[in-house]
Structures are given as C-alpha cells and as structure tokens.
Amino acid sequence: MFYKVKKSTSIIYSFALILIFIVLDQVTKYLAVQHLMNKDDIILIPGVLQLHYLENTGAAFSLLEGKQLLFGIITPILLILLTYVLIRLPQNKKYTLLNYIIIFVIAGAIGNYIDRVTNNYVVDFIYFSLINFPVFNVADIYVTCSVIALFLVILFYYKDEDLEEIKQRLLFK
C-alpha cells in the first residue's frame, strides 16, 4: 500500500493509521475507567483472562515504576526518531512490513504518553491470570508485538543490503 502511492500520500496514510490506533487505545482506556475503576474485575475466561483496572506509573508491565520524568524526556525523543525513520524509509514493497511496525510503535508510545501527561499514570486493564502476567493495555500490545516483529524481520527477513539501504536513507547518502 505505502509503496504504490507518492511519498507524501504514503506519509499521510501512515499518520492516519497512527491516529486511528491511538484513538482505539484511548477509547479502550476510557471504557476501562468507566466500567472497571473501583469495581470488581470482569472475568472473560475464568482462570485465564479478566479485565482489571490498574493505574501504572511505570512502563510496560510496571517496569521503572514512578520514573515519570524519565518517560517525559525519553518518549518525545523516541517519537521524533521514529517519525524521522518512518518518513525516510525507502518507498519499496519490501519495507511495507517495517512501515507498519513503526506505525504501531509510534501509536503505542503516543497512546501511553497521553496517559502519562494527562494523569501521571497509564491505565492498564487486560490481565492474563492463567500465567499471572502483568496487567497491560492496547498501547502495550502495539509496542510489544511490534518490537518482537522488528527483531524477527531484522533476523529473518531483511538482508544486509536491505538494512544498508535503510541506513543510507537515514543518513541522507
């Protein structure tokens, strides 16, 4: 999709998708606040999956709890770098997957950043009780799955010359 249109149109598509994914994340968090805050958990699959309201002052899975200033500095820097990569990415079919990965990371980072800026915490509400997995949210899913996908495509999909092409584009060579 991104490689079949002009670069400017591709960038508009990318940012439209980012906006859609952010809205989806924020709507789910709004619903969690409305229906879960100060209420009993909602059991979806007994012993496996439930909705549980949690105010998380850390990163994904409560890592670095209480380090709001650190997140306030690192997140905008990360977003600027990722946006630069997204814009400079070669417009070629083989980089479409990477384009989507970056879109999801940006959407997840912005989704949780909105919470941190407005509330000083992130609303988490999905809990896999079967394995006692940390409570998380939709933005965490975006970021976690995208980072895993990024490692996999770098290891198994892209060749050295593909990564070199990306590097050259990022360095204006």
Question: pLDDT tens digit string along 97-145?
Answer: 999 999 999 999 999 999 999 999 999 999 999 999 999 999 999 999 9
d(CA 121, CA 126) in angstroms, rounded, equals: 16
The helix-helix angle for 96-119 and 68-88 (nearest 10°) equals 150
Q: The tokens 């809990």 sit on which residue?
A: 127
Q: Compute CA 5 distance to the chain's CA centroid, rounded to the nearest angstrom.
A: 25
**Is 25 tagged catalytic?**
no
- Active-site residue, from 25, 40, 41, 140: 140
- Active-site residue, from 25, 40, 115, 124: 124
Q: Are 102 and 86 in contact (CB under 8 A)?
A: yes
Confidence of residue 67 (pLDDT cuts 50, 70, 90): low
Q: What pLDDT, on the 0 to 100 scale, is given for residue 3?
A: 64
Can you read off the two tokens belonging to residue 41?
């958990």
Q: 0.85 exceeded by the pTM?
A: yes
Give the number of other CB atoms < 10 A from CB of residue 83. Answer: 16
Q: Strands (DSSP E) along the chain, which ranges?
A: 42-45, 49-56, 122-128
**Is 140 tagged catalytic?**
yes
